[in-house]
Structure 1
Amino acid sequence: MKMVKPFVWVMIIFLMLAIPQPASGAFWNVTGEKMIHDPSLIKEGNTWYVFGTGEANKNGIRVLRSDNGTNWYTTPVIFPTAPSWWKTYVPNHESNQWAPDIQYYNGRYWLYYSVSSFGSNNSLIGLLSTHSISSGQWRDDGLVVRSTSSSNFNAIDGDLVIDKDGNPWLSYGSFWSGIKLTRLDKNTMKPTGSVYSIASRPNIPNNPIEAPSITYRNGYYYLFVSFDRCCNGVNSTYKIAYGRSKNITGPYVDKNGVSMMNGGGTILDAGNDVWKGPGHQDVYNNNIIIRHAYDATNNGMPTMLINDLYWDSQGWPSY
């Protein structure tokens, strides 16, 4: 048998290491309380928090906490009693609040949330803020943006993103004419200036796209969205898609160069036999992604899934 010289083995190993290998993001071993819809993740000090849609027919925004990132437990809801001003804009709103997004900016934690009724675009996005999540003291910063039955968009699913120059923006939208983006005033954290359309599926009935999440990395803004329909247990058809742009206002294109305004979007996660309808994703710190999916082994319970997020050599996300 012919022997391979040592330097040849060295070259083989070197070449193997030089070739990009497929990455598979690790699932976090989440234990304890896992039930949630529309999760948004943040860390304050050594403590992790997840904010999500409140339980149906119950008041408030759901909040989970973990001291190590894996074992989670419930904490008191935000808004155990609905502020009276909501009914001024959404008279028949659901008791629970939807799709909160939590971000830290300029010394405060900003929590955007949605008030609506299912299937309607008579909706609003409101804002809370605090200097410390653990304090439990939230300031009601009021109305951010609203939509009515005559609007061509739906004011839910707000997502705060900070651009490369330190300016805050809010993306939002669900069905109707798709995903919107507007710049925010740095002091009020409310809209100022134009509203941009950045993603739509005009050739799909009812334009099923929602839950935007934007992150900036290495010269690109990455827009993650959820396609199709959630909230139907194991029959949900939710899936996560993405595209990217050099400019925060777009145009965003997928890996095939298709504009996300024309239905483009590369699928990141369409679920599997256990996890049905994954979606309403939130990207944290560019290396973690959280979303919910319906557990086919547990009566379709909406369950939070957390993964390490990876990026390939061309700058596209994977896990």
Structure 2
Amino acid sequence: MTACSSPTRHHLDSLWSRVRCHLIATPSPFASALYIDHNSVEIHADSACLDSSTGVEVAVRTRSATAQRWVLSAITVCAIAAVAAPAHANPVVQPVAADPSVIRAADGKFYMYTTGDDWGDGHGTHDMSIFTSDDLESWKYSGDVFKNHPSWHPAGKVGWAPDAHYKNGQYSLYYALGDPTNPCIGLATAQAPTGPWTDLGKAVLCAKDVGVEGTIDPFVWDDGTSKTMIVGNFHGIYAIPLDAAGHAPAGKPVQIADKRFEAPYVQFHDGYYYLFVSAGNCCRDANTAYRVLVGRSSSLTGPYVDRKGTDLNNGGGALVLAGSDKWAGPGHNSIITDDAGTDWIVYHAIPRARLELPSGAQRREGMIDRITWADGWPEVGDGSPSSTGPEVPKITSPVKVSVVSDDAQLPASGGTVKAALRITAPADAAYSGKVWANYTLPSSTKEATLLQPQDVALQPGQSVDRPITFTVDSNASPGTYELIGYAGPSSDQPVQFGALMAQKATSVANKQ
């Protein structure tokens, strides 16, 4: 095939090919299908279907499926007319990322703050976990908010449902502290997104202070002139004015949604406040009906109505996300916006194939999906969590780093994860530097070397893989082992990272 007058499609049973023309000097037109390195082109079996329109002749060594032999043939592989867009995969955080709140910090990275739970790896209950990401896809565990519980917390209590903010050089984290009759909201602040955190030393408010029940799941709206806490847990959702510091209530609560809901989150879009809420019991295993609904208002304090005009205080609520055959109980969301202005909903969901943590707690994993605004309303795909999304968040960076594997699930007997450290240059810029990989043990942020630094030089749009293997023996702790790949000018100057969470099961089959 030598002409490219019209787009053609080539199905290649190929693992390797060599360029016969000067393709290395130009950006790779083959995106994730072809990887150019040292004048060779690697065609991956799962990406070997190419749409093409303009030609470059290559010699391709292919294996005959019937004769089981290699055949050398020349074809013209043309520049891509349409290549499947890169996709993201859910979950983005394991084993637990319940009630996620996501912000972008002063360093340009993203930070996710979550309800901790006991991960079942021998390290006990996490007091609100922190995860870090460069791209909203790959996340690494960065420790917990509290190593020691604040003195005013009742014994044995940990924080829930964190609500994170960054303003004027300070990070603020509101959180819930459960109690059957008088739940409270606390506040911790820090100068860095991972702490150390200084607690206010007392509650911002408790249920009995403001005369409402269910004061957990806080969300604070700060418009620059005043602060309002939106809060509630199946006793009504309320808007409560706060003082200028955000340390105490400063007015009467206003009910903005009825008793069906919890986990409020407000997003302003095109002149409306959108109140996202979750309904149903979050933690009833596969039978949960937990889901995300929304209403909108021209005022922060309502009334919030759904698509039909029904008030959320009177049975209203437009469905955004509900469970599927693979995922149960999606809910308790926040929203983050990428560099292209696209909104992404960040939430937790339960994998139906693995309902519980080894501790017996509900396994609520971290998820992300794109929001599409249609006729003034937020929509998410087909209305259920995706296992693979149609596109990735667009984040400006000098290089894209990811760690990919076909299978990162390990049995209790241990095993080996075979993965690749994938480095991709931006479409419009070359990249050169070092790449390397580290790993961490369950519930630890201490990194050890997995792959020594290597040189890489990429043309615009080019990708290259570096193979890595990671072995966990049968005596190793169960839990999450993170494989973290880096790129930068040197190993002490990382500029971008990507991570893969490898899960080692316990010996109890239904608590993997």
Q: In structure 2, do the counterparts of structure 1 residues 317 and 94 end up closer, same or farther at CA, with 3 Å as the change threshold?
A: farther
Query: What residue number does 1:42 align with?
Result: 103
Q: In structure 2, do the counterparts of structure 1 residues 139 and 81 end up closer, same or farther at CA, with 3 Å as the change threshold?
A: closer
1:110 lines up with 2:172 in the alignment: yes
| The one of 189, 196, 199 aligned to 2:257 | 199
Higher relative contact order (CA 8 A, sep 6+): 1
In 2, the alpha carbon distance for the partners of 1:98 and 1:186 equals 24
Counterpart of 2:313 in 1: which secondary structure?
helix
Query: What residue number does 1:183 align with?
Result: 241
Query: What residue number does 2:153 align with?
Result: 86
Q: In structure 2, do the counterparts of structure 1 residues 132 and 272 end up closer, same or farther at CA, with 3 Å as the change threshold?
A: same
Counterpart of 1:267 in 2: which secondary structure?
strand
- Deviates most, 97-106 or 145-154: 145-154
| The one of 223, 230, 235 aligned to 1:171 | 230
Counterpart of 1:259 in 2: which secondary structure?
coil
Residue identity opposite 1:104 in structure 2: Y
For residues 126-160 of structure 1, give each alpha carbon's deviation from its aligned partner in whole angstroms, at most 9, with x where no partner exists: 001123214x2222123111025995421100001
Structure 1: stretches of 5+ with no match in the other structure: 1-25, 88-92, 201-206
- TM-superposed CA distance for 1:236, in Å, is 1.9
Query: What residue number does 1:298 align with?
Result: 354
For residues 213-233 of structure 1, give each alpha carbon's deviation from its aligned partner in whole angstroms, at most 9, with x where no partner exists: 011122111000001111223
Counterpart of 2:204 in 1: which secondary structure?
strand
Contact 1:33 1:72 (C-alpha < 8 Å) held by counterparts: no
Counterpart of 2:139 in 1: which secondary structure?
strand
1:254 lines up with 2:312 in the alignment: no
Query: What residue number does 1:8 align with?
Result: none
- TM-superposed CA distance for 1:63, in Å, is 1.5
Contact 1:30 1:71 (C-alpha < 8 Å) held by counterparts: no
Residue identity opposite 2:144 in structure 1: V
Query: What residue number does 2:199 align with?
Result: 140
Structure 2: stretches of 5+ with no match in the other structure: 1-86, 119-123, 357-362, 381-512
- TM-superposed CA distance for 1:38, in Å, is 0.7
Q: In structure 2, do the counterparts of structure 1 residues 174 and 245 end up closer, same or farther at CA, with 3 Å as the change threshold?
A: same
Contact 1:42 1:48 (C-alpha < 8 Å) held by counterparts: yes
Contact 1:124 1:144 (C-alpha < 8 Å) held by counterparts: yes
Query: What residue number does 2:117 align with?
Result: 55
In 2, the alpha carbon distance for the partners of 1:48 and 1:277 equals 24
Contact 1:59 1:82 (C-alpha < 8 Å) held by counterparts: no
Counterpart of 2:203 in 1: which secondary structure?
strand
Q: In structure 2, do the counterparts of structure 1 residues 95 and 254 end up closer, same or farther at CA, with 3 Å as the change threshold?
A: same
1:274 lines up with 2:326 in the alignment: yes
Contact 1:180 1:199 (C-alpha < 8 Å) held by counterparts: yes
- TM-superposed CA distance for 1:121, in Å, is 3.9
Residue identity opposite 2:284 in structure 1: N
- TM-superposed CA distance for 1:75, in Å, is 2.1
1:72 lines up with 2:175 in the alignment: no
- Normalised by the length of structure 2, the TM-score is 0.51
In 2, the alpha carbon distance for the partners of 1:27 and 1:256 equals 33
Q: In structure 2, do the counterparts of structure 1 residues 121 and 256 end up closer, same or farther at CA, with 3 Å as the change threshold?
A: farther
In 2, the alpha carbon distance for the partners of 1:33 and 1:295 equals 11
Query: What residue number does 2:448 align with?
Result: none
In 1, the alpha carbon distance for the partners of 2:92 and 2:215 equals 33
Q: In structure 2, do the counterparts of structure 1 residues 28 and 309 end up closer, same or farther at CA, with 3 Å as the change threshold?
A: farther
Contact 2:90 2:367 (C-alpha < 8 Å) held by counterparts: no
| The one of 213, 221, 238 aligned to 1:161 | 221
Q: In structure 2, do the counterparts of structure 1 residues 79 and 315 end up closer, same or farther at CA, with 3 Å as the change threshold?
A: same
- Deviates most, 63-72 or 149-158: 149-158
Residue identity opposite 1:40 in structure 2: S
Q: In structure 2, do the counterparts of structure 1 residues 248 and 230 end up closer, same or farther at CA, with 3 Å as the change threshold?
A: same
Q: In structure 2, do the counterparts of structure 1 residues 169 and 149 end up closer, same or farther at CA, with 3 Å as the change threshold?
A: closer
Contact 2:266 2:275 (C-alpha < 8 Å) held by counterparts: yes
Residue identity opposite 1:65 in structure 2: T
Query: What residue number does 2:450 align with?
Result: none
1:127 lines up with 2:187 in the alignment: yes
Q: In structure 2, do the counterparts of structure 1 residues 191 and 149 end up closer, same or farther at CA, with 3 Å as the change threshold?
A: closer
Task: Provide the identity percentage.
Answer: 34
In 1, the alpha carbon distance for the partners of 2:310 and 2:126 equals 41
In 1, the alpha carbon distance for the partners of 2:247 and 2:193 equals 18
Q: In structure 2, do the counterparts of structure 1 residues 209 and 287 end up closer, same or farther at CA, with 3 Å as the change threshold?
A: same
- TM-superposed CA distance for 1:59, in Å, is 4.8
- Deviates most, 244-253 or 69-78: 69-78
Counterpart of 1:224 in 2: which secondary structure?
strand
1:289 lines up with 2:349 in the alignment: no
Residue identity opposite 1:159 in structure 2: F
Counterpart of 1:234 in 2: which secondary structure?
helix
In 2, the alpha carbon distance for the partners of 1:47 and 1:276 equals 29
Counterpart of 2:367 in 1: which secondary structure?
strand
- TM-superposed CA distance for 1:46, in Å, is 3.0
Residue identity opposite 2:113 in structure 1: F
Q: Give the helix-richer structure, 1 or 2.
A: 1
In 2, the alpha carbon distance for the partners of 1:78 and 1:99 equals 12
In 2, the alpha carbon distance for the partners of 1:282 and 1:246 equals 20
CA RMSD across the alignment: 2.3
Query: What residue number does 1:96 align with?
Result: 158
